[in-house]
Amino acid sequence: MRPEINVLGPFEATIDGVSIVPSASKPRQLLAVLALNVGRVVTAAALIEELWSDKVPRTAHSTLHTYVMQLRKCIAGAVPAAEARKVLETRHTGYLLRFDDEALDANWYARKAAAGRAAGAAGDYVAAERLLREALSVWRGPLLVDVATGPQLEIESTRLHESRLTDLTLRIDADLFLGRHHQLLGELAALCARHPHMENFHAQFMLALYRCGRPGQALEVYHAVWTTLREQFGVAPSPRLRKVHQAVLTGDASIDDPGFVMNKWVPHAVAR
């Protein structure tokens, strides 16, 4: 049996190439929660909270059981019927989807990204860039973009989204360190437009522009983010971004140092 679960984009779950994802919204949401906790028991109480939030019907437990039966019917389309109960087990407090940990793309992404961050922390930016690029390549769009989300899926979606932004920031840092500023211009322009409040991307865009001999455009990027932060939040840019701005203004030679204002390569770094 070869299971595969993809949550980093549209939801896909297959066994030996046969889809086990139900079409109905609530069973689909139930499978998504179990999939993100593959190999671990999810309590009935947690599943009920995810499916109905604060509008729990009196029939919640029996309806949950019905949804589990529907999931087992989908699973039975890919494995012998007797095996379906072993794939989706009933436990004393809840349910468990019994697949190997590596069946879930989010787990593969997390391991690969952790290896990339470790390589960067050790100063091996070639390996760091390669590993982080491989990790980020498994993302096919927003997490579970086609699944209704309750409290637990919302939290998990936010966590993985922030992790992706952090790893993307670090991967671009590695590219800048390796002198690939020309190749980054298009990607950074799009990221700054998509994330107008994320100073890391703007600082990286300014560095790439300056190192490509375009200091005037680097200053335009700073002015744009300064205006956005002032008008929308009433705050000034961070010291890090101001340092890049000052270096561009004065033509400070330190701005050409590959490690100039790089982010700290630590496992729990969060993109700002």
Q: Where do you find CATH 1.25.40.10 in the chain?
A: 180-272
Residue 268, pLDDT score:
47
Dihedral sign (CA 30, 36, 41, 42) = negative
What are the pLDDT digits (tens) for 22-65? 999 999 999 999 999 999 999 999 999 999 998 999 999 999 99
Residue 232 and residue 240 in contact, taking contact as beta carbons nearer than 8 Å: no
Instruction: Quote the CA–CA distance of 83 and 199 in Å, as a whole number.
Output: 51
Task: List, edge to edge, every strand of the sheet that includes 41-43.
Answer: 41-43, 94-97, 88-90
- Prediction pTM value: 0.91
Residue recorded with tokens 């290896």: 115
CATH topology of domain 3-103: Arc Repressor Mutant, subunit A (1.10.10)
Is residue 243 helix, strand or coil?
helix
Which part of the chain has CATH 1.10.10.10?
3-103
Domain formed by 180-272, architecture: Alpha Horseshoe (1.25)
User: What is the pLDDT, as a whole number, of residue 270?
Assistant: 39
Report pLDDT for 266.
53
With 0-12 / 13-18 / 19 or more C-beta atoms within 10 angstroms meaning exposed / middle / buried, residue 203 is buried
The C-alpha atoms of residue 165 and residue 159 are separated, in whole angstroms, by: 10
Over the chain, what is the mean pLDDT? 94
